[in-house]
A and B are shown apart, each in its own frame.
Chain A
């Protein structure tokens, strides 16, 4: 396991192909929740948390149950050659929805302080496409378990960074004169475009 490869995955997913600004995942909640820095922070942290939890879980399920040749441990002639890959969407979304539910209940019981900080954001996260997206990308890229953990965590950090940036810019924007018809959603898109351009400066970096 080489450490340079892992660092490279981390830097790539935070800066170079940022999950939000280059892969466009998790836009809906990004646009809705970047109103204040506090909300953005809460949602960002919840995304990091849920991503780091669900992606490895999905990796284990995919590689030990769904993948072609994954079922060879079941005695029987046919089992080994069965590929259940077409079930991956259904399985992943079920894993994400149920683990979010479990995390929510566990937080409420054991850490009320953290629950009051993250609680209201957790249900929103089930339908955040960044979560499902990371699980699908890790299959596409054929990462191993350790790489998946690093990839999921740093993708979450990248998302957190982007939403914090937008929330801070939106706050400053209150004092600017934006054309009437461009106010709100339109301006948010232009701002995000400029942020994406800024992040493109990282594109030449290679490890």
Chain B
């Protein structure tokens, strides 16, 4: 189920579904669960992670021939945590409310295994151009899961989308509909990701 034939296209599009960082590579699961109670923080988190991931991939790919193999992990860490500190400052300056809501999870992008994993597995052995595409692709795959998950949990758990009430929800309340409180709590996130993996496995395997 490839969307594109060229190598560049594949690097960009494969992580969307086929090798999705969250559902298939099991990378970056923590933040995917923690910030998705509503759509808005999910989107902000997705954008921050994609930005950090793309930049770190490009930077590490640029300096890949100068990094001594033994201390590469520490070099990655320094690059990534500098970028994360930048992202954190930007978020605090422009979207303070959301950055409060995300609390420590922006900082935890440092130990988000997607960034480390892609640096180790891809950026160290590829050109900056490919690393850029890989960063964007994996960021998009991560964002896809996060935003779908955030939208589901907000609609089912709070009856709102992007903070606004769903049209017609009041008449449903009047008819006896109750918000599913479990969706905004921790177990809802686990179940939802589990179901996503189930669906994507079923689709992917049947199309092979």
Give the interface of A toward B (CB within 8 A).
21-28, 31-32, 86-90, 93-94, 97, 126-129, 131-133, 136-137, 140, 179, 181-182, 185-190, 192-194, 196-197, 200
Contact = CB atoms under 8 A, between A and B. Distances in A.
Given A89-B81, A93-B81, A181 B205 contact: yes
A97 B116 CA distance: 14
B194 A193 contact: yes
B34 A182 contact: no
Contact of B26 (A22, A185, A187, A192): A185
B92 to A, nearest CB: 9
A21 B191 CA distance: 12
Contacts of B190: 189-190, 192-193, 196
A192 B28 CA distance: 16
B158 interface: no
Nearest to B36: A24
Contacts of B180: none
A38 B82 CA distance: 37
A140 B116 CA distance: 25
A27 B78 CA distance: 23
Contacts, number: 118
Do most interface residues of chain A lie in helix, strand or loop, or is the interface mixed? helix
B111 interface: yes
A166 to B, nearest CB: 11
Given A185-B23, A196-B187, 11 more contacts: A24-B29, A25-B34, A26-B30, A27-B33, A31-B29, A93-B81, A129-B30, A133-B104, A133-B108, A186-B194, A196-B186
B103 interface: yes
Nearest to B185: A200
A192 B29 CA distance: 13
Which 5 pairs of residues, A with B, have the shortest CB-CB distance?
Answer: A193-B190, A189-B194, A136-B104, A181-B201, A186-B197
B205 to A, nearest CB: 6
Contact of A28 (B26, B84, B186, B191): B26
Contact of B34 (A23, A189, A192): A23
B186 A22 contact: yes
9 contacts: A24-B30, A28-B26, A28-B28, A89-B84, A127-B111, A137-B104, A182-B197, A193-B190, A200-B187
